[in-house]
Structure 1
Amino acid sequence: MSSSKTPSFFISLPVASLSSSADFYKSLSFTPLPDYSDSNTTSLRFPYSSNANICLMLHSTSRFEEFIRRGSEIVHAKKATGAIYTLGVPSKEDVDGFLEKAEKAGGKRDPFEIKEYGKSLGLYTRSFEDLDGHIWEATTMLNEKAQEGA
């Protein structure tokens, strides 16, 4: 898939610091999308060609508030988990490398651990927390049976 192709799926997250969060995700090989960015939003394409149709939109809290229901509050991800975002990567080494990059960039490795998580399905999965506390997983399929089911 061409990196110039318009994303077809968007994930929007509130962040405390656009520049720090953008730097964090760029260190994980997310690619900037200037056409979808401005002073209150930084947009990035997910890494790996299999995820190239997905766009991560990081919003200042004031911008994010423009998109939510009136009277509702922005969830503070370090206090409550509203979602877990899972990124498919090509190999077990990529999963471990992704976590190393996240930790080096200021994220927290394995905020939760589930023994042999995904093993019965032929998956290898690890988790990390970004700078704002949003929970992410990196996962890969380890066997042909798992890959056929994807």
Structure 2
Amino acid sequence: MAPTKDAKPPSFFVSLPVESLDSSTDFYKSLNFTPLPDFSDDNTAALRFPYSANSNICLMLHAPSRFQEFVRKGSEIAQPKKTTGAIFTLGVGSRETVDGLLDKAQKAGGKKDPFKMKGYGKPLGIYTRSFEDFDGHIWEATTMLDEKEKVEA
């Protein structure tokens, strides 16, 4: 699983257990994650995060048996539909991109806005919306509001 010599390998990896490697891979590809075949095999799909600011991050989707190889002996794999252990946030450049990402997630079979922040985060100077993937992992898409957007209703 060595990277091709022209590609700069990611420097940060996020690993998630998924029930269906093929379905989850297709879901994330529909959100513009880029497959990294050099880091993938029959039990793991590696995908580079979308948007240039995130391009050094790699999402590693693992079949349950593979994911179990990485956890402490005797520990259980969290069931994200029952327990939220982490929220993953993609920083993007605009409100339109946030909304577009959620539309893509829903079209690909995810769930839009499983939770909502008050004013979608406006009191914090951000615009944030969330989505849930097939396995129940919670993601956010967020962008900073400019000064004009902060004061508009």
TM-score (norm 1): 0.92
The reply to whether residue 103 of structure 1 matches residue 106 of structure 2 is: yes
The reply to whether residue 56 of structure 1 matches residue 26 of structure 2 is: no
Deviation at 1:100, TM superposition (A): 0.2
Distance 2:96 2:66 in 1: 37
The reply to whether residue 27 of structure 1 matches residue 44 of structure 2 is: no
Q: CA RMSD in A?
A: 1.2
The superposition leaves residues 38-73 of structure 1 with CA deviations (integer Å, 9 ceiling, x where unpaired) of 000000000001100000000000000000001100
Distance 1:70 1:44 in 2: 27
Structure 1 unaligned spans of 5+? 145-150
User: How many residues of Structure 1 are paired with residues of Structure 2 in the alignment?
Assistant: 142
Q: Equivalent residue for 2:3?
A: none
**Which residue identity lines up with residue 57 of structure 2 in the other structure?**
I
Distance 1:91 1:141 in 2: 8
Q: Equivalent residue for 1:113?
A: 116
Aligned residues of 2:117 and 2:128 also touching (Cα < 8 A): no
Bigger Rg, structure 1 or 2:
2
**Which residue identity lines up with residue 47 of structure 1 in the other structure?**
P
Pairing 1:1-150 to 2, within 5 Å after superposition: 4-143=7-146
Paired residue secondary structure (1:10): strand
**Percent identical:** 73
Paired residue secondary structure (1:116): helix
TM-score (norm 2): 0.90
Paired residue secondary structure (1:136): strand
Distance 2:18 2:111 in 1: 16
Paired residue secondary structure (1:23): helix
Distance 2:55 2:80 in 1: 25
